[in-house]
Amino acid sequence: MDEDFALVAIHCSEEEYKLAYLLNLNLDLKLKRRKVDLDFTFKGIVVPFPIYDFEDTFSHNSFFLVKNKIRKEELMVAQAGGLFSLEVSNKSTIHYLLPEFKKVDYLLKIYSDLNREQLKDFVSKIYNIKQVISAYTIEISDVKSKNNLIFD
């Protein structure tokens, strides 16, 4: 592989803990949720992205699973005409870790020495998980928001 890491796009409607469990079960990984989420600030609003990681010290491979879409509920308060009346409403906004890939639900970042064929087999195993709709590699050169993929 030419890059330092491979990036796999995963389309799956399951919650992140369930996807992590399915990947662990089917790919012999041991993904665990980090105690601290990835926090990004969008227009003054802090948005936490849950991250799961696993470092295989035997094979020197590292895996990072992160949700690409986070729906954030924001409370909107506005004066509603009367002197003491307030109108309260919820506004739901979707924030993306990689905005250029809005259709992708999850990203799996892999640091390894897998060759292209091994990576293809690995992605095929993800795709064959019943709850996964689609899985494929993303060319790193197509990623505009590379800084959002720095997890350390």
Integer distance in angstroms from the first to the last C-alpha of the chain?
21
Predicted confidence at residue 20, as pLDDT, reads 98
Looking up tokens 């696993």, which residue turns up?
54
Tell me: the pLDDT tens digits for 74-103?
Answer: 766 666 665 566 666 677 889 899 999 999
Query: What is the rounded distance in angstroms from the CA atom of residue 19 to the CA atom of residue 13?
Result: 9
Per-residue model confidence as pLDDT tens digits over 2-60:
458 999 999 999 999 999 999 999 999 999 999 999 888 887 888 899 999 999 988 88
Measured distance CA(59)–CA(98) in Å, rounded: 28
Give me the pLDDT at residue 81, please.
Answer: 62
- Measured in degrees and rounded to the nearest 5, phi and psi for residue 122 equal -60, -45
Cα four-point dihedral sign 2, 5, 72, 13: positive
Using H for helix, E for strand and C for coil, what is the string for 46-70? EEEECEEEEEECCCCEEEEEEECEE
- pTM summary value: 0.85
Helices (H) and strands (E) in the chain, counts: 2, 10
pLDDT digits (tens, 9 = 90+) for 42-53: 878 888 999 999
Residues 49 and 148: beta-carbon distance below 8 Å: no
Place of tokens 């990984």: 29
